[in-house]
Amino acid sequence: MKLHTLLAASALFASFAMPLTARALDVNITADTPSVEILHGRQKITLMRNQDPKNAVNPDFAKTSRKCPPFCVQPGELAPGVETIGELEVIHYLKKMSDGDKTILVIDSRTPDWVEKGTIPGAVNIPWDQLNIGKSDPITVQDILEKQLGVKNQDGFYMFDNAKTLVMFCNGPWCGQSPTNIKGLLKIGYPADKIKWYRGGMQDWEVLGLTTVKP
């Protein structure tokens, strides 16, 4: 990660560092941030790292070898203008959403069977196969674009003036679900600077022992 990106991440975290409550945590998110309060639907979740020093990686994300295709390693840069981000930036966007910023949407692009095993608090599940532009049901795609992503259809043309900033992820660096949706959105004109890609996805999130929730 570039130095200026690290500095930016540190700065944004300082803006919402949570005070220590009952006792200091042994495993913080950053040196100054033990945990962050996130809204998942209407439920308040304390997002933190697992405190058990013997905790191991979730077995669903411990496997190293998946048949390629379709489970091929994704590039670091998915498309020009689409920013690849890490965990601190994801938490930053989650916190903004929790504070009422309706211009941002963190999207879990995985199918419901994977989401049932656990997802990132505050993320909204929009299954990739429903938003697979050009292949999914056009009415379903249109409904997602207008009702969830803030895209307007005017006389057959997509208008992105009020389109939300999307933070998209799936299972990890070997998962093509969110990349498929991102590439499809770009093809219809969704502004690249309004799309953020968490390449590490659930695998990296789990490796760091960060909080997950089940629907």
44 in a domain, yes or no? no
- Give a yes or no: residue 11 inside a domain: no
Give the pLDDT score at 156: 86
pLDDT at 43 over 60: yes
Please tell me whether the peptide bond between 70 and the residue prior to it is cis, using omega within 30 degrees of 0: yes
DSSP 193: G
Look at residue 198 and give its three-state secondary structure. strand
pLDDT in tens, 149-167: 999 999 889 999 999 999 9
pTM as predicted: 0.89
Which residues lie closer than 8 Å to 66 by C-beta, 6 or more apart?
Answer: 174
Measured CA to CA, the distance from residue 82 to residue 56 in angstroms comes to 32
Is 19 domain-assigned? no
Instruction: Look at the chain and report how many structural domains it folds into.
Output: 1
User: Shortest CA distance to 61 belongs to which of 208, 195, 180?
Assistant: 208
pLDDT at position 118, please? 97
Give the count of alpha carbons within 13 A of 12, CB side only: 17
Averaged over 24-45, what is the pLDDT? 95
d(CA 59, CA 153): 43
Asked if residue 165 belongs to a domain, the reply is yes
Is 139 a member of any domain?
Answer: yes
Residue 93: inside a domain: yes
Query: In angstroms, how far is CA 62 from the centroid of its own chain?
Result: 20
Order of all β-strands in the sheet with 124-125: 83-85, 195-198, 165-169, 104-108, 124-125
Is the residue at 47 inside a domain?
no
Q: For residue 127, give its domain range.
A: 78-207
Residue 23, pLDDT above cutoff 80: no
CB 18 within 8 A of CB 35: yes
Describe the crossing of helices 3-14 and 87-98 by its angle, rounded to 10 degrees.
30
Residue 83 lies in a domain: yes
pLDDT tens, 73-116?
999 999 999 999 999 999 999 999 999 999 999 999 999 999 99
In the prediction, which pLDDT does 162 show?
A: 97
- Residues 166-215: tens digit of each pLDDT: 999 999 999 999 999 999 999 999 999 999 999 999 999 999 999 999 98
Q: In degrees, to the nearest 5, what angle opens at C-alpha 88 toward C-alphas 82 and 91?
A: 90
Instruction: Provide the pLDDT for residue 181.
Output: 98
Chain CA centroid to CA 187, Å: 21
Q: Rounded CA gap, 97 and 80, in Å?
A: 25
Above 60 in pLDDT, residue 1? Answer: no
Residue 88: which CATH number? 3.40.250.10
